[in-house]
Structure 1
Protein backbone atom coordinates (compact mmCIF):
# COMPACT_ATOMS: atom_id res chain seq x y z
CA UNK A 1 0.00 0.00 0.00
CA UNK A 2 1.36 3.36 -1.01
CA UNK A 3 1.85 6.12 1.48
CA UNK A 4 1.02 9.61 0.39
CA UNK A 5 3.84 12.16 0.47
CA UNK A 6 3.67 14.72 3.27
CA UNK A 7 2.68 18.23 2.46
CA UNK A 8 5.07 21.13 2.87
CA UNK A 9 3.73 21.99 6.30
CA UNK A 10 3.97 18.38 7.50
CA UNK A 11 7.51 18.13 6.15
CA UNK A 12 8.50 21.26 8.11
CA UNK A 13 7.00 19.77 11.30
CA UNK A 14 8.82 16.46 10.80
CA UNK A 15 12.12 18.21 10.19
CA UNK A 16 11.55 20.43 13.23
CA UNK A 17 11.18 17.37 15.50
CA UNK A 18 14.11 15.36 14.12
CA UNK A 19 17.73 16.43 14.23
CA UNK A 20 19.56 16.11 10.95
CA UNK A 21 23.04 14.62 10.72
CA UNK A 22 25.82 17.26 10.61
CA UNK A 23 27.93 17.56 7.47
CA UNK A 24 31.23 15.70 7.62
CA UNK A 25 34.31 17.82 8.23
CA UNK A 26 36.60 18.42 5.26
CA UNK A 27 39.92 16.58 5.31
CA UNK A 28 42.84 18.53 6.81
CA UNK A 29 45.17 20.34 4.43
CA UNK A 30 48.09 18.19 3.28
CA UNK A 31 50.61 20.97 3.89
CA UNK A 32 49.54 21.35 7.50
CA UNK A 33 49.80 17.60 8.08
CA UNK A 34 53.19 17.25 6.39
CA UNK A 35 54.85 20.38 7.81
CA UNK A 36 56.21 18.71 10.98
CA UNK A 37 57.59 15.78 8.95
CA UNK A 38 59.23 18.11 6.44
CA UNK A 39 60.81 20.18 9.23
CA UNK A 40 62.19 17.01 10.83
CA UNK A 41 63.59 15.73 7.51
CA UNK A 42 65.11 19.14 6.76
CA UNK A 43 66.86 19.16 10.14
CA UNK A 44 68.13 15.65 9.59
CA UNK A 45 69.20 15.82 5.94
CA UNK A 46 69.31 19.55 5.14
CA UNK A 47 69.11 21.11 1.72
CA UNK A 48 71.95 19.06 0.27
CA UNK A 49 73.79 19.59 -2.96
CA UNK A 50 70.64 20.53 -4.91
CA UNK A 51 70.11 23.56 -2.70
CA UNK A 52 73.74 24.47 -3.24
CA UNK A 53 73.58 24.04 -7.03
CA UNK A 54 70.66 26.43 -7.32
CA UNK A 55 72.52 29.25 -5.56
CA UNK A 56 76.16 28.26 -6.08
CA UNK A 57 77.24 31.48 -7.78
CA UNK A 58 75.70 33.55 -4.96
CA UNK A 59 77.41 31.45 -2.30
CA UNK A 60 80.97 31.27 -3.63
CA UNK A 61 81.05 34.17 -6.10
CA UNK A 62 81.14 34.35 -9.88
CA UNK A 63 84.88 33.69 -10.27
CA UNK A 64 84.80 30.41 -8.34
CA UNK A 65 81.39 29.37 -9.71
CA UNK A 66 82.69 29.53 -13.31
CA UNK A 67 85.32 26.90 -12.49
CA UNK A 68 83.40 24.69 -10.03
CA UNK A 69 80.08 23.06 -9.28
CA UNK A 70 78.92 21.19 -6.17
CA UNK A 71 78.67 17.48 -6.88
CA UNK A 72 77.27 15.99 -3.68
CA UNK A 73 77.13 16.41 0.07
CA UNK A 74 78.21 13.29 1.96
CA UNK A 75 77.07 13.05 5.57
CA UNK A 76 78.83 10.55 7.83
CA UNK A 77 76.74 7.84 9.50
CA UNK A 78 78.16 8.71 12.88
CA UNK A 79 76.99 12.31 12.63
CA UNK A 80 79.10 15.40 12.53
CA UNK A 81 79.97 17.72 9.68
CA UNK A 82 79.52 16.60 6.09
CA UNK A 83 81.99 16.43 3.22
CA UNK A 84 81.22 18.57 0.19
CA UNK A 85 82.39 17.15 -3.13
CA UNK A 86 83.15 19.89 -5.63
CA UNK A 87 83.79 19.19 -9.32
CA UNK A 88 86.56 21.39 -10.73
CA UNK A 89 87.86 21.75 -14.26
CA UNK A 90 91.46 20.56 -14.68
CA UNK A 91 94.09 23.14 -13.79
CA UNK A 92 91.75 25.20 -11.62
CA UNK A 93 91.88 22.53 -8.91
CA UNK A 94 95.03 23.99 -7.34
CA UNK A 95 93.43 27.42 -7.11
CA UNK A 96 90.27 26.01 -5.57
CA UNK A 97 92.28 23.95 -3.08
CA UNK A 98 93.89 27.14 -1.80
CA UNK A 99 90.45 28.70 -1.37
CA UNK A 100 88.95 25.63 0.35
CA UNK A 101 88.60 27.25 3.79
CA UNK A 102 86.90 30.31 2.31
CA UNK A 103 84.52 28.14 0.26
CA UNK A 104 83.66 25.99 3.29
CA UNK A 105 82.94 29.04 5.45
CA UNK A 106 80.62 30.47 2.77
CA UNK A 107 78.82 27.14 2.37
CA UNK A 108 78.42 26.91 6.15
CA UNK A 109 76.83 30.36 6.14
CA UNK A 110 74.26 29.04 3.67
CA UNK A 111 73.64 25.58 5.18
CA UNK A 112 74.17 26.41 8.83
CA UNK A 113 77.13 26.48 11.18
CA UNK A 114 79.22 23.31 11.09
CA UNK A 115 77.32 21.71 8.22
CA UNK A 116 80.45 21.15 6.10
CA UNK A 117 83.77 20.18 7.66
CA UNK A 118 85.73 18.99 4.64
CA UNK A 119 85.99 19.85 0.95
CA UNK A 120 86.79 17.08 -1.53
CA UNK A 121 87.92 18.26 -4.95
CA UNK A 122 87.13 16.11 -7.98
CA UNK A 123 88.77 17.03 -11.26
CA UNK A 124 86.64 16.69 -14.35
CA UNK A 125 84.44 18.55 -16.79
CA UNK A 126 81.61 20.58 -15.34
CA UNK A 127 78.26 18.98 -16.07
CA UNK A 128 75.98 21.97 -15.61
CA UNK A 129 77.94 24.44 -17.73
CA UNK A 130 77.74 24.82 -21.48
CA UNK A 131 80.75 26.58 -22.90
CA UNK A 132 79.88 29.39 -25.24
CA UNK A 133 82.29 29.85 -28.10
CA UNK A 134 83.13 33.21 -29.55
CA UNK A 135 80.95 33.97 -32.58
CA UNK A 136 83.96 34.00 -34.91
CA UNK A 137 85.62 30.89 -33.46
CA UNK A 138 84.26 28.60 -36.19
CA UNK A 139 85.40 31.02 -38.88
CA UNK A 140 88.90 31.21 -37.35
CA UNK A 141 89.23 27.40 -37.24
CA UNK A 142 88.14 26.95 -40.84
CA UNK A 143 90.81 27.43 -43.46
CA UNK A 144 90.06 30.05 -46.05
CA UNK A 145 89.27 28.42 -49.38
CA UNK A 146 90.49 30.00 -52.62
CA UNK A 147 87.95 32.06 -54.55
CA UNK A 148 85.90 30.35 -57.24
CA UNK A 149 87.23 30.79 -60.80
CA UNK A 150 85.17 32.87 -63.25
CA UNK A 151 83.99 29.92 -65.39
CA UNK A 152 82.50 28.02 -62.44
CA UNK A 153 80.97 31.21 -61.05
CA UNK A 154 79.31 31.86 -64.44
CA UNK A 155 77.98 28.26 -64.57
CA UNK A 156 76.58 28.59 -61.05
CA UNK A 157 74.76 31.83 -61.91
CA UNK A 158 73.41 30.28 -65.12
CA UNK A 159 72.06 27.25 -63.20
CA UNK A 160 70.31 29.50 -60.64
CA UNK A 161 69.12 32.14 -63.15
CA UNK A 162 65.53 30.85 -63.31
CA UNK A 163 65.02 31.31 -59.53
CA UNK A 164 63.50 34.62 -58.36
CA UNK A 165 65.83 36.99 -56.49
CA UNK A 166 65.54 36.67 -52.71
CA UNK A 167 66.99 34.94 -49.67
CA UNK A 168 66.57 31.44 -51.15
CA UNK A 169 68.57 32.27 -54.24
CA UNK A 170 71.29 33.96 -52.15
CA UNK A 171 71.54 30.91 -49.85
CA UNK A 172 71.74 28.50 -52.79
CA UNK A 173 74.44 30.67 -54.40
CA UNK A 174 76.55 30.57 -51.20
CA UNK A 175 76.03 26.83 -50.88
CA UNK A 176 76.97 26.25 -54.53
CA UNK A 177 80.14 28.31 -54.14
CA UNK A 178 81.23 26.35 -51.08
CA UNK A 179 80.59 22.99 -52.76
CA UNK A 180 82.47 24.00 -55.90
CA UNK A 181 85.40 25.41 -53.86
CA UNK A 182 85.74 22.18 -51.92
CA UNK A 183 85.63 20.11 -55.12
CA UNK A 184 88.39 22.31 -56.54
CA UNK A 185 90.44 21.91 -53.35
CA UNK A 186 90.12 18.09 -53.36
CA UNK A 187 91.16 17.68 -56.98
Structure 2
Protein backbone atom coordinates (compact mmCIF):
# COMPACT_ATOMS: atom_id res chain seq x y z
CA UNK A 1 0.00 0.00 0.00
CA UNK A 2 2.99 2.32 0.43
CA UNK A 3 3.45 2.54 -3.34
CA UNK A 4 -0.21 3.51 -3.69
CA UNK A 5 0.15 6.47 -1.34
CA UNK A 6 3.38 7.46 -3.09
CA UNK A 7 1.50 7.37 -6.40
CA UNK A 8 -1.46 9.39 -5.07
CA UNK A 9 0.84 11.92 -3.43
CA UNK A 10 2.82 12.22 -6.67
CA UNK A 11 -0.35 13.01 -8.61
CA UNK A 12 -1.35 15.56 -6.01
CA UNK A 13 2.10 17.16 -5.79
CA UNK A 14 2.75 17.35 -9.53
CA UNK A 15 -0.63 17.99 -11.09
CA UNK A 16 -2.76 19.82 -8.54
CA UNK A 17 -4.22 23.02 -9.99
CA UNK A 18 -7.61 24.77 -10.17
CA UNK A 19 -8.39 23.56 -13.71
CA UNK A 20 -7.78 19.89 -12.86
CA UNK A 21 -9.71 20.40 -9.62
CA UNK A 22 -12.81 21.46 -11.55
CA UNK A 23 -12.45 18.78 -14.22
CA UNK A 24 -12.08 16.08 -11.58
CA UNK A 25 -15.05 17.38 -9.60
CA UNK A 26 -17.13 17.35 -12.81
CA UNK A 27 -16.27 13.69 -13.41
CA UNK A 28 -17.18 12.85 -9.82
CA UNK A 29 -20.48 14.75 -9.84
CA UNK A 30 -21.85 14.58 -13.36
CA UNK A 31 -20.71 11.47 -15.14
CA UNK A 32 -22.87 8.88 -13.35
CA UNK A 33 -26.08 10.89 -13.88
CA UNK A 34 -25.05 11.37 -17.53
CA UNK A 35 -24.54 7.61 -17.90
CA UNK A 36 -27.97 6.92 -16.39
CA UNK A 37 -29.67 9.43 -18.71
CA UNK A 38 -27.78 8.01 -21.71
CA UNK A 39 -28.87 4.49 -20.75
CA UNK A 40 -32.51 5.58 -20.54
CA UNK A 41 -32.28 7.37 -23.90
CA UNK A 42 -30.64 4.35 -25.51
CA UNK A 43 -33.48 2.15 -24.25
CA UNK A 44 -36.21 4.55 -25.41
CA UNK A 45 -35.13 4.69 -29.05
CA UNK A 46 -35.68 1.49 -31.02
CA UNK A 47 -32.47 1.88 -33.06
CA UNK A 48 -30.31 1.89 -29.91
CA UNK A 49 -32.53 -0.15 -27.58
CA UNK A 50 -30.36 -3.26 -27.64
CA UNK A 51 -27.33 -1.21 -26.61
CA UNK A 52 -29.32 0.38 -23.80
CA UNK A 53 -30.53 -3.01 -22.58
CA UNK A 54 -26.97 -4.38 -22.66
CA UNK A 55 -25.84 -1.34 -20.68
CA UNK A 56 -28.66 -1.83 -18.18
CA UNK A 57 -27.79 -5.51 -17.71
CA UNK A 58 -24.09 -4.81 -17.24
CA UNK A 59 -24.64 -1.81 -14.96
CA UNK A 60 -27.09 -3.58 -12.66
CA UNK A 61 -24.77 -6.60 -12.51
CA UNK A 62 -21.65 -4.59 -11.68
CA UNK A 63 -23.49 -2.54 -9.05
CA UNK A 64 -24.77 -5.70 -7.34
CA UNK A 65 -21.34 -7.35 -7.36
CA UNK A 66 -19.31 -4.20 -6.72
CA UNK A 67 -21.39 -2.10 -4.33
CA UNK A 68 -23.50 -4.70 -2.58
CA UNK A 69 -21.04 -7.59 -2.31
CA UNK A 70 -17.38 -6.60 -2.80
CA UNK A 71 -17.26 -3.19 -1.11
CA UNK A 72 -18.75 -4.39 2.20
CA UNK A 73 -16.87 -7.73 2.08
CA UNK A 74 -13.47 -6.13 1.49
CA UNK A 75 -14.25 -3.00 3.55
CA UNK A 76 -11.21 -1.07 2.39
CA UNK A 77 -11.07 2.39 3.90
CA UNK A 78 -10.53 5.30 1.58
CA UNK A 79 -7.07 6.86 1.20
CA UNK A 80 -8.11 10.15 2.80
CA UNK A 81 -9.25 8.23 5.90
CA UNK A 82 -5.75 6.80 6.26
CA UNK A 83 -3.79 9.90 5.25
CA UNK A 84 -5.79 12.46 7.23
CA UNK A 85 -3.38 15.25 6.33
CA UNK A 86 -4.89 15.41 2.84
CA UNK A 87 -7.23 18.31 2.25
CA UNK A 88 -10.16 17.01 0.16
CA UNK A 89 -11.69 19.26 -2.49
CA UNK A 90 -14.85 17.12 -2.63
CA UNK A 91 -17.18 15.76 0.01
CA UNK A 92 -16.07 12.59 1.73
CA UNK A 93 -17.66 9.40 0.39
CA UNK A 94 -19.77 7.26 2.73
CA UNK A 95 -18.91 3.81 1.42
CA UNK A 96 -15.78 1.75 1.08
CA UNK A 97 -13.04 2.25 -1.46
CA UNK A 98 -12.60 -1.04 -3.34
CA UNK A 99 -13.52 -1.23 -6.20
CA UNK A 100 -14.08 2.23 -7.64
CA UNK A 101 -17.76 2.46 -8.60
CA UNK A 102 -17.27 5.58 -10.72
CA UNK A 103 -14.57 3.76 -12.66
CA UNK A 104 -16.57 0.61 -13.26
CA UNK A 105 -19.61 2.62 -14.32
CA UNK A 106 -17.47 4.47 -16.86
CA UNK A 107 -15.71 1.36 -18.19
CA UNK A 108 -18.91 -0.69 -18.34
CA UNK A 109 -20.52 2.05 -20.41
CA UNK A 110 -17.49 2.46 -22.65
CA UNK A 111 -17.27 -1.29 -23.24
CA UNK A 112 -20.93 -1.79 -24.12
CA UNK A 113 -20.87 1.18 -26.49
CA UNK A 114 -17.56 0.05 -28.01
CA UNK A 115 -19.01 -3.42 -28.70
CA UNK A 116 -21.65 -1.80 -30.95
CA UNK A 117 -20.16 1.52 -32.07
CA UNK A 118 -16.35 1.42 -32.26
CA UNK A 119 -15.63 5.12 -32.88
CA UNK A 120 -17.97 6.39 -30.19
CA UNK A 121 -16.70 3.63 -27.90
CA UNK A 122 -13.11 4.84 -28.25
CA UNK A 123 -14.25 8.31 -27.15
CA UNK A 124 -16.07 6.70 -24.22
CA UNK A 125 -12.90 4.83 -23.23
CA UNK A 126 -10.98 8.10 -23.20
CA UNK A 127 -13.63 9.55 -20.89
CA UNK A 128 -13.50 6.40 -18.74
CA UNK A 129 -9.72 6.78 -18.36
CA UNK A 130 -10.20 10.42 -17.36
CA UNK A 131 -12.80 9.28 -14.84
CA UNK A 132 -10.36 6.76 -13.38
CA UNK A 133 -7.60 9.35 -13.15
CA UNK A 134 -9.94 11.84 -11.51
CA UNK A 135 -10.72 9.36 -8.70
CA UNK A 136 -7.03 9.20 -7.81
CA UNK A 137 -6.48 12.93 -8.33
CA UNK A 138 -9.29 13.60 -5.83
CA UNK A 139 -7.64 11.17 -3.38
CA UNK A 140 -10.85 9.18 -2.98
CA UNK A 141 -9.47 5.91 -4.44
CA UNK A 142 -6.25 3.96 -4.45
CA UNK A 143 -4.73 2.97 -7.80
CA UNK A 144 -5.73 -0.67 -7.24
CA UNK A 145 -9.36 0.42 -6.62
CA UNK A 146 -9.33 2.11 -10.01
CA UNK A 147 -7.57 -0.77 -11.78
CA UNK A 148 -10.09 -3.23 -10.34
CA UNK A 149 -12.95 -0.90 -11.30
CA UNK A 150 -11.69 -0.76 -14.89
CA UNK A 151 -11.28 -4.55 -15.08
CA UNK A 152 -14.72 -5.18 -13.57
CA UNK A 153 -16.27 -2.56 -15.83
CA UNK A 154 -14.79 -4.06 -18.97
CA UNK A 155 -15.70 -7.59 -17.89
CA UNK A 156 -19.27 -6.73 -16.98
CA UNK A 157 -19.64 -4.63 -20.15
CA UNK A 158 -18.64 -7.62 -22.27
CA UNK A 159 -20.91 -9.91 -20.25
CA UNK A 160 -23.85 -7.49 -20.56
CA UNK A 161 -23.34 -7.27 -24.31
CA UNK A 162 -23.37 -11.06 -24.75
CA UNK A 163 -26.24 -11.64 -22.31
CA UNK A 164 -28.38 -9.12 -24.21
CA UNK A 165 -27.41 -10.78 -27.49
CA UNK A 166 -28.38 -14.23 -26.15
CA UNK A 167 -31.69 -12.90 -24.80
CA UNK A 168 -32.44 -11.17 -28.11
CA UNK A 169 -31.71 -14.38 -30.05
CA UNK A 170 -33.79 -16.45 -27.63
CA UNK A 171 -36.78 -14.08 -27.91
CA UNK A 172 -36.41 -13.83 -31.71
CA UNK A 173 -36.34 -17.63 -32.03
CA UNK A 174 -39.43 -18.00 -29.84
CA UNK A 175 -41.30 -15.39 -31.91
CA UNK A 176 -40.22 -17.13 -35.12
CA UNK A 177 -41.36 -20.53 -33.85
CA UNK A 178 -44.66 -19.12 -32.59
CA UNK A 179 -45.32 -17.42 -35.92
CA UNK A 180 -44.62 -20.59 -37.92
CA UNK A 181 -46.61 -22.80 -35.59
CA UNK A 182 -49.54 -20.42 -35.97
CA UNK A 183 -49.31 -20.60 -39.77
CA UNK A 184 -49.30 -24.42 -39.85
Greater percentage in helix:
2
Greater percentage in strand:
1
- Asked which structure has the greater RCO (Cα within 8 Å, sep 6+), the reply is 2
Q: TM-score range by the shorter chain?
A: under 0.3
**Taking structure 1 as the reference length, what is the TM-score of the superposition?**
0.26
| Structure with larger Rg | 1
**Taking structure 2 as the reference length, what is the TM-score of the superposition?**
0.27
